[in-house]
Amino acid sequence: MAQAANADFKTRLQTWLPKLVLSPSLAMVLIFVYGFIAFSVYLSFTDSRLLPSFGWVGWENYSKLWRLSHWETSITNMGIFALLYIGICTVLGLSLAIFLDQKIRAEGFIRTVYLYPMALSFIVTGTAWKWFLDPGIGLENVMQSWGWTSFEFDWIKNRDFAIYTVVLAAVWQTSGFVMAMFLAGLRGIDNEILKAAQMDGASNWNLYRRIIIPQLRPAFLSAFVILSHLAIKTFDLVIALTGGGPGRATELPATFMYSYTFSRNQMGIGAASATIMLMTIAAIMIPYLYAELREKK
Amino acid sequence: MMAHATQDTAIRTGRAVRMLIYLVLVLFALFYMLPLYVMLVNSVKPLDEITGGGMMNLPQVWTLAPWAKAWSSAQIGVEPTGLSPYFWNSIKMVVPAVAISTILGALNGYVLTKWRFRGDTILFGLMLFACFIPFQIVLIPMARMLGLMGLAGTTWGLVLVHVVYGIGFTTLYFRNYYAVFPTELVRAAQIDGAGFFQIFWRILLPSSGPIAVVSIIWQFTNIWNDFLFGASFAGADSQPMTVALNNLVQASHGVKEYNVHFAGAILAALPTLLVYIVAGRYFVRGLMAGSVKG
């Protein structure tokens, strides 16, 4: 009798054990991710300043936010940055992948060189580019010392052009990764179809345009999703490269949120900006993850 | 560029076009190497050679003094400690965070593939989405929570943060890896009376080497390179390397010692760069698994 009960307990334990093992991770995610999201979204509707406060103010923080020129700058910069960053990374990554796919000697070595920036911290990347682009000691100075005395390149100090230096450094960091994604896609394409099309006299241009590139759709989608979420989250690079300046010329939503919440003690507005960032990413990521996970079943 | 690319295929390429492709590939290799070259070459030359317009030149006088200064005596914040204490802070944070998140990821992946239950995909989706949120949305409550738990400003606080926001990826790796592991072996062992942990320990774990390496390298790189959490939650004696490097470079007082900054940047990059050189294959596998969910 006791033995039976013991055995019964054991089988029951075995059926519950998997869920028990999963539960600490699940609890962490539910509290630290979804609970915290709920808390931050709630704060965005309160009069929180230095510390969280629970006085309900409705949409006031949001309407204040959209009237701030500082936020407007961040959003405009985000638009310019995201468009150029995603566009250039995609075109460059695809082109390099197609080039590398031509039975290139030392392909492995070249791939390693293209991809190593992904292993670096944005703070390191930012530091390197900051001084390389600095007109005082970097490119401009070097060119002038080489005899091109009229050479000027002061984008990083120029309000109208500084954002493009952020694009340059970010493209440098991630384009190799995009190349690797497209290369993996190219390697998955069936050569038989290409051979058949060649027999029919298709030009190489048409092979790429009509057969190969359309088959890369999943790689395009992945690249777009990954790049857009990286773009929205860009923070460290701006801090290290320009510190958001000159003036506010390179502020992005992530740096805006940080300074409003932690330096300017406008926690309600900071939370509102974080909520907008989250919603933007969710609009891109949720359909993507949903499709990816559903396919698998 | 596109025009050149599309004149070729893998199957037939003319000589001239091939030369052009090699030229473009080499030019871009130089572009990617440029910042590394700038950092290396300027970290071993005296400051006046840099300010005199010689950033791209090899040093006329070779010196390791900038490295020594970056490591042990440069002014970081208010203390002239160099980057070395922060380097160890990063190590103390990275090692436990990587170990814990990888172990949890392995167990989660095992449960989610071999002990499936209703709604497991939704739970996995919830864990996965957590990897992609903009972390600004959790900064305020996390600061409060670390305070409540008595972990504010400590290395263990940072370990907790990195584990929480890392398990989505580690779970993803192990889940995808175990999904193709033959479930019959698990069922057979079950019939032989093996329990939950026995099966994991004796059957799945022995063949998990490659994915464990992927997970460890990914977590190591990500956590070592993190700046946002370090800047938000670290105290004076738990600041990681990235935060210290930023403080060194952004310091507004005194002469800007570019050579020391470059040496410091290499010191901060060295651990992840070494891992990439030794095991880049696994790092790329981690990157790809994180983008193409499969």
Burial class of residue B97 (count of CB atoms within 10 Å of its CB; 0-12, 13-18, 19+): buried
Cβ distance of B117 and A19 shorter than 8 Å: yes
> B184 and B240 share a domain?
yes
**Range A159-164 average pLDDT:** 92
Closest CA to A126 of B294, B24, B39, B42: B39
> B173 and B114 share a domain?
yes
> B27 and B113 share a domain?
no
Domain positions in chain A are 65-296
Task: Specify if B59 maps to a domain.
Answer: yes
> B50 and B107 share a domain?
no
**Range A22-36 average pLDDT:** 94
Q: Tell me the per-residue pLDDT of A56-100, one tens digit each, with 9 for 90 and over.
A: 888 988 999 999 999 999 999 999 999 999 999 999 999 999 999
Cβ distance of A273 and B54 shorter than 8 Å: no
Task: Specify if B74 maps to a domain.
Answer: no
- Which structural domain range is residue B231 located in? 84-291
Q: Which of B107, B132, B142 sits opposite A36 (nearest CB)?
A: B142
Percent of chain B with pLDDT over 70: 94
Is the confidence at residue A183, as pLDDT, over 60? yes
**Range B35-51 average pLDDT:** 92
Task: Please count the structural domains in chain B.
Answer: 2
Superfamily of domain A65-296: MetI-like (1.10.3720.10)
Give the integer Cα–Cα distance in Å for B190 and B146.
42
At residue B155, the pLDDT reads: 93
Residue in chain B lying closest to A189 (CA): B10
Q: Which of B7, B9, B121 to mutate to probe the A interface, most A CBs <10 Å?
A: B9
Residue B83 C-alpha, separation from nearest chain A C-alpha, in angstroms: 14
Task: Specify if B75 maps to a domain.
Answer: no
Q: Tell me the per-residue pLDDT of B171-182, one tens digit each, with 9 for 90 and over.
A: 999 998 998 888
Label residue A52 by pLDDT band (50, 70, 90). Answer: confident
> B62 and B88 share a domain?
no
Contact A265, A127 (CB under 8 A): no
Task: Specify if B76 maps to a domain.
Answer: no
Give the integer Cα–Cα distance in Å for B67 and A223.
38
Residue B289 C-alpha, separation from nearest chain A C-alpha, in angstroms: 10
Given the cut 0.85, state whether the ipTM is greater than it: yes
CATH number at residue B152: 1.10.3720.10
Residue in chain B lying closest to A179 (CA): B288
Contact A126, A241 (CB under 8 A): yes
Residue in chain A lying closest to B32 (CA): A114
Cβ distance of A127 and B261 shorter than 8 Å: yes
Q: Tell me the per-residue pLDDT of A236-295, one tens digit each, with 9 for 90 and over.
A: 999 999 988 888 899 999 999 999 998 888 899 999 999 999 999 999 989 988 888 886
Task: Specify if B220 maps to a domain.
Answer: yes
At residue B12, the pLDDT reads: 65
Give the integer Cα–Cα distance in Å for B67 and B80.
14
Is the confidence at residue B166, as pLDDT, over 90? yes
Give the integer Cα–Cα distance in Å for A82 and B101.
31
Q: For B207, which DSSP code?
A: G
Q: Which of B23, B133, B149, B252 to mutate to probe the A interface, most A CBs <10 Å?
A: B133
Q: Tell me the per-residue pLDDT of B231-276, one tens digit each, with 9 for 90 and over.
A: 999 988 899 999 999 999 988 777 888 999 999 999 999 999 999 9
> B101 and B195 share a domain?
yes
Last residue of a domain, one of B42, B68, B94: B68
> B109 and B167 share a domain?
yes
Which residues in A lie closer than 8 A to residue B123 (C-beta atoms)?
A: 22, 26
> B8 and B95 share a domain?
no
Q: Tell me the per-residue pLDDT of B54-98, one tens digit each, with 9 for 90 and over.
A: 888 899 889 999 999 999 988 887 888 889 999 999 999 999 999
Kindly report the pTM of this predicted structure. Answer: 0.90
Give the integer Cα–Cα distance in Å for B16 and B228.
48
**Among A9-13, A34-38, A54-58, which is the least confidently predicted range?**
A9-13
Which residues in A lie closer than 8 A to residue B55 (C-beta atoms)?
A: 131-132, 137-138, 141-142
Cβ distance of A114 and B29 shorter than 8 Å: yes
> B255 and B155 share a domain?
yes
Give the integer Cα–Cα distance in Å for B225 and B219.
10
> B88 and B64 share a domain?
no
At residue A296, the pLDDT reads: 55
> B286 and B207 share a domain?
yes
Amino acid symbol at A83: L
Contact B108, B175 (CB under 8 A): yes
Which tokens belong to B267? Answer: 């010191």
Give the integer Cα–Cα distance in Å for B292 and A292.
9
Residues 188-207 in A contacting B (C-alpha not used; CB under 8 Å): 191, 194-195, 198, 204-205, 207
Task: Specify if B275 maps to a domain.
Answer: yes
> B40 and B111 share a domain?
no
Contact A257, A274 (CB under 8 A): yes
Label residue B10 by pLDDT band (50, 70, 90). Answer: very low
Q: How many of the other CB atoms lie within 10 Å of CB of B192?
A: 9
Task: Specify if B25 maps to a domain.
Answer: yes
Cβ distance of B11 and A198 shorter than 8 Å: yes
B76 DSSP β-pair partners: B79
Is the confidence at residue A170, as pLDDT, over 90? yes
